Structure 1
């Protein structure tokens, strides 16, 4: 078996704002396996400044994987504990190589086109007019769940946007999730959360910075608005540490990004623990190309979670790869009549 890796820079169609700054480009890496005339591909999706494996030796570790590909998927996963995005890329690449179709990793009613996945519509940060325009577009597109990033503009304006949604759609018609990306200061977090509780918000993601687990535990215990951990899960590698985190914080939800938490195996560990402690969960992509998104969607469908998931079609980028993934009326579909615009022989 031969393995190679390839860097690829995704370019945003327009700068995309979060509380941590504005994104214009996204770095990703493809792992390609070749054996007996077949090829398989996996994506190692990393977000600089956020991923646990944003390290100077990242590319060196990719080369190590290629040099040791004979170890196999399971052994490599265990050796890559501190490189969750590479764990995911390895899992994906081996499944791709072993599949009849390199892009159908986990066959199901979803990949046959017979079933879809409910997803949320993402509203990016920006000025009030820009965010309002996005909200209106998502509503027109038939979404029944909107995820709105907050924490970058004036809080009163963000509340006005939430008020705008609720004046037009009640909680039965439109579910609202908000994501603070750790933007709230500890001394103001509970007050701000309480201020938006009246808008019948489904949940708030990561209200304060990660690693403030004492305060996060207090918030989860005292808030009327369910809290979802997101960044808090990044860098928690062992099963024992994962369980200790959930026991201490007792969040209402956790959000699972396979590229950040060790791929399918890492995600499955978190799901098992969440269900043990009666914690809700959903899966979301982390700005991967359509290669990684496709794998995440196929895995997500098999988890049988009816909640809207954080998936899409990678339409943020100018140079993504056309794929059978399509969004219609707030649902993600795999349209088999559409073909991949990605040639494995080019890598």
Structure 2
């Protein structure tokens, strides 16, 4: 068996804003396994300035994986503990190599019968007109769950947008989630949560920056609306530390991004601990290409969650790969498209 890797730059169709800045390009890496006529492909989806494995020797670690691909998968996983995106790429690549179809990693009703996964529609930050335009588009597309990035523009403007939504749609008609990406200060976060709670939101993601466990714990204890931890989970590698974090903060939800927390294995550890403490969870992609998104979506379906998941990012790029994934009426489906598999194998593996 031979292992190689390739770097790929994804270009956003339109600049996408968060409280951490505006995204125009996204770097990703593909791990490719070849064994005779069989190929396996896994995406190592790193997010610069956010991923725990955003380190200067990232490519060196990919080279090491290729040189040591003969090791048992468990040994590789342990050696990659501090490289969660590569852990996920290795998981995908081996599943892909050992599957009848290299892009059908988890056969299920999702891949075989077009059973849907409910997802949220994502609204990026920008000026009021831009955000309202996105909202109108998502509603026309049939989304019943909207996630809005907040924290970068004027807070009163963000409140006015939420008010406009709630004036026209009840919580039963549209579920609203907001994501602050750590934009609030610990001193004013509770006041802002109280203002946001008047709009009957489902939850807010990461209201304050990570690594403020005591402040976040106090916020979760006193919050008028549910809090979901996101960035807080990044860089927490051991099961003991994961449990300590959830015991300390006691959030209402956690959000799991396989590329950021160590793939399927890392997510499953978090889920097991969260359920022990009656903490809810859902799965979100981390701006991967359609290859990584496909791998996340198939696995997510097997978890049997009825909550809308964060898997609607496949249409963000001008140069994404062909895929069987299709979004309609606020749901993600796996369609039986033709030729996309052969084209993709040829593009990446040959």
TM-score (norm 2): 0.98
Preserved contact between residue 45 and residue 259 of structure 2 (Cα < 8 Å): yes
Instruction: Measure the CA separation in 2 of the matches of 1:72 and 1:10.
Output: 32
Name the residue aligned to 1:197: 197
1:1-347 equivalences under 5 Å are 1-340=1-340, 342-347=343-348
| CA shift for structure 1 position 113 | 3.1
- Mean Cα deviation higher: 255-264 or 312-321: 312-321
Name the stretch that deviates more: 333-342 or 245-254: 333-342
User: Size of the alignment, in residue pairs?
Assistant: 347
Contact in 1 for aligned 2:321/2:344 (Cα 8 Å): no
Mapped contact 2:285–2:313 kept (Cα < 8 A) = no
Counterpart-to-counterpart distance in 1, 2:5 and 2:314: 21
| 1:72 CA drift (Å) | 2.9
SS at match of 2:110: coil
Q: Summarize deviations over 1:235-275 as a string: whole Å, max 9, x none.
A: 00000000000000000000000000000000000011110
Asked whether the 8 Å contact 2:95–2:105 carries over to 1, the reply is yes
Contact 1:313 1:325 in 2 (8 A): no
CA contact (8 A) 2:322 2:344 kept: no
1:338 and 1:119, CA in 2 relative to 1: closer, same or farther beyond 3 A? farther
Closer, same or farther in 2 for the Cα pair 1:339/1:202, shift >3 Å?
farther
Separation (CA, whole Å) in 1 of partners of 2:113 and 2:64: 38
Q: Distance in 2 between matches of 1:213 and 1:23?
A: 28
Instruction: Kindly report the root-mean-square deviation, in angstroms, between the aligned alpha carbons of the 2 structures.
Output: 0.9
Equivalent residue of 1:157, what SS?
helix
CA shift, 1:73, in A, is 2.1
Does the 8 Å contact 2:287/2:313 carry over to 1? no
CA deviations 1:48-81 (Å, max 9, x no partner) are 0000000011000000000000003222111100
Q: Is the 8 A contact 1:5 1:62 kept in 2?
A: yes
Distance 1:339 1:181 in 2: 39
Q: Is the 8 A contact 1:113 1:336 kept in 2?
A: no
Distance in 2 separating the partners of 1:12 and 1:316: 6
Moved more, 100-109 or 332-341: 332-341
The change in CA–CA distance for 1:316 and 1:218 in structure 2 (over 3 A counts) is same
Separation in structure 2 between the aligned mates of residue 139 and residue 346 of structure 1, nearest angstrom:
35
- Structure 2 stretches of 5 or more lacking a match? none
- Return 5+ residue gaps in structure 1 as ranges: none
Maintained 8 Å contact 1:323/1:338: no
Q: Deviations over 1:96-122 (max 9, x none)?
A: 000010000010000113311000000
Q: What's the secondary structure of 1:101's corresponding residue?
A: coil
Q: Tell me the TM-score normalised to structure 1 length.
A: 0.99
Query: 8 Å contact 2:31–2:43 — kept in the other structure?
Result: yes
CA–CA separation in structure 2 for the residues paired with 1:238 and 1:339 = 42
In the alignment, the residues of structure 2 paired with residue 261 and residue 337 of structure 1 have an alpha-carbon distance, to the nearest angstrom, of 31
